[in-house]
Chain A
Amino acid sequence: MTETAAVRRHWREYLSISPFFVLFAAFSIVPLIYALYLSTQQWDGIGDSKFVGLAQWQRLVASNDFWYATGNTFLIFAMGQIPVIIGALIAAVLLSQPRLRARGLYQTAFFLPQVTSLVVVAVVFQAVFSNRFGLTNVLLQAAKLPTFQWLTDPWGIRIVIAAMIIWRGFGYFLLIFMAGISAIDTGLYEAARLDGAGPVRILGSITLPVLRPTVIFVALTGTISGLQLFTEPQLLFGGGSGPDRGGLTMMLLQYQYLGGPGAATAQTAVTPDLGYASVIGWAVFIILLAIAALSFRFTRRGLED
């Protein structure tokens, strides 16, 4: 009784926060539940759907395409994420030196790719790495080195996509690591310096250990969005997966089974099946949830005041 009275008295508060909860329920929770129903169906999206029980899940477990896509996603992602974190750490340490000039210029230049659309990144990288007239091959030719078929070799594809991840993500990691470094108590540095520690020793014994939680947290949260890799391969191959499926990712596979634009015309076209696409969606959700659960342990510490 008193509870309803309290709720009624605070209706403005509840009304103010309700849009988030309503939208989250309607467009995040409901789709996930609906996907469970869809996963029991076989449906090309046009005709009638057919109940198939758990056959789509069995298909997922037994299939080679989903596991190939999963492995390939992790592979490409690691090829981009690991260099970007190491590189950004080095740059953050360099840029955090006192008395460094043009700090703002470097920060701005490194962050600028983050503002750029992935579509733009894909268009430019495709031009730079194009097999015949791309600048990389022109330079290799000029240096009398053998050229490389970047966009038709599966490893070339992975390298190009990883390069896009590095180029676009570097500035973001850099700024976060710099903020982490600037939060380190300067007394620690001075004490270490008085004890005769050199710059390398200070880096290894103070900067890196203090930054460790930041690095782990950012790496994990970045992984959740990073593993949803889709735009780069979709654009490079117009909805297909590229030669030898070198650009196939989990989200791209789901898009192909959904019958998204361009997917049907690709060399590696698949027959649209919305039931199977739903199962893929759930599998991606479970994989990312496991990573999110891991990062939530770090999040709690960082978010609660």
Chain B
Amino acid sequence: MTSITRTGSARGTSTRTRRRPIRPNLVATHVVLAIGLVLFAFPFYWLVVMATSSTSDIFSFPPRLIPGPEFFNNFGQVLANTTFVQAFFNSIWLTALTATIQLFLASLAGYVFAKRRFPGRDRLFGLVLVTLVLPTGVALVPSYQIYAGLGWLNSFWPLIIPSAVSAFGVFWMRQAAVSAVPDEVIDAAAIDGAGFLRTYWTVVLPMIRPSLVALGIFQIMWTWNDYLWPLLVLGNPAQYTLPIAIQQLKGNYGNVDYSVVMAGTLVATLPLIALFLALRRTVLDNVAGSAVKG
């Protein structure tokens, strides 16, 4: 919003400079940014090149610099690796599940903190803020032992339950409810006889939808890319998630068939890139608010 008004007013005031047809500093800006763009896009490009070449092409000199015709051949070998295919589905359902739980619990708590009055509310929310910057989760051993004691090793529970609702999610959803849901709407719903859950479901949720989408994408990114805990608790190859499967693929094929590893890596990357490109504006507009996540 602010950026639109700013560019608008700048446009109106600087008629003097607008007459010049070529603005050298804008050209220089584009040159600098384009160099950066090429550097940042390059690893993606190189991944595509390697995933579509044969291993001998990758290891030849000079190496192949443009995408080749071998993608389906490589990808076929990835598909022959049942662990990888299974991991793809594991990642999809696990990500969908954790995102759904996070969105539900965080938005419910956020709504309560933002719009309901009850004793101790502000102190409890203060506690949420403190835990937001508290670096818990760095102690691996006790968590591991607790999961073991609960019988959760070699299961998905450690990846679902402990992070089911995060301090960041609650904070994020409270901000959304504070700024997007006017008190009058809540009062009107109460006068109409809507109860606690009904108000949350039919009044609050539709009004905070953009923030839900943004939090959903963040959570999807975190679960899809999570590495440390899946590595520690998932012992059975049938349970692997994609990051673990790629690591295994690298271990199994790394020295023999590099292009297969690259094809698998490329395929594992595409869903999130597609999702991000589809919801680009929502993500980009909301990232600034997530600065607190750290």
Contacts and interface: CB of A to CB of B under 8 A. Distances in A.
A19 interface: yes
B269 to A, nearest CB: 5
A296 B133 contact: yes
A183 B32 CA distance: 24
Contacts of B63: 133, 135, 138
Given A16-B108, A176-B288, A305-B178, A285 B165 contact: no
B139 A32 contact: yes
Contacts of B130: 296
Contacts of A115: 221, 272-273, 276
Contacts of A180: 288
Contacts of A284: 135, 138-139
A182 B10 CA distance: 12
Contacts of B25: 97, 199
A81 interface: no
Interface in A73-94: 87, 91, 94
The 8 residue pairs across chains A and B that have the minimum distance between CB atoms? A221-B294, A179-B288, A281-B139, A288-B135, A31-B142, A27-B162, A28-B136, A10-B118
Nearest to B232: A260
A155 interface: no
Given A20-B170, A180-B288, 18 more contacts: A21-B127, A24-B131, A31-B136, A31-B139, A35-B139, A94-B29, A102-B30, A112-B44, A113-B40, A115-B272, A116-B269, A123-B262, A128-B43, A186-B6, A186-B10, A221-B292, A281-B139, A292-B134
A91 B33 contact: yes
Contacts of A221: 133, 291-294
A73 to B, nearest CB: 12
A271 interface: no
Interface in A206-251: 214, 217-218, 220-225, 228, 230-231, 234-235, 238, 251
A23 B109 contact: no
B32 to A, nearest CB: 6
B292 to A, nearest CB: 7
B151 interface: no
Interface string B245-259: 011001100000010
B40 to A, nearest CB: 6
Contact of B119 (A3, A128, A142, A171): A3
A302 B29 contact: no
A57 interface: no
A119 B227 contact: yes
Given A133-B59, A285-B136, A124 B142 contact: no
Interface stretch (A59-67, A103-111, A143-151): A103-111
Contacts of A117: 224-225, 227, 242-243, 246, 268-269, 272
Contacts of A104: 280, 284
Contacts of A20: 105, 109, 128, 165-167, 170
Interface residues of A, number: 117
B109 A118 contact: no
Contacts of A47: none
26 contacts: A6-B118, A6-B119, A10-B116, A13-B118, A28-B137, A35-B141, A38-B142, A98-B10, A104-B280, A104-B284, A106-B36, A108-B280, A110-B36, A117-B242, A119-B246, A121-B43, A123-B262, A175-B287, A186-B10, A228-B138, A251-B140, A254-B138, A258-B140, A281-B140, A292-B133, A299-B129
A95 to B, nearest CB: 7
B2 interface: yes
Contact of B165 (A19, A112, A114): A19
B145 A182 contact: no
Contacts of A140: none
A73 B277 CA distance: 33
A157 interface: no
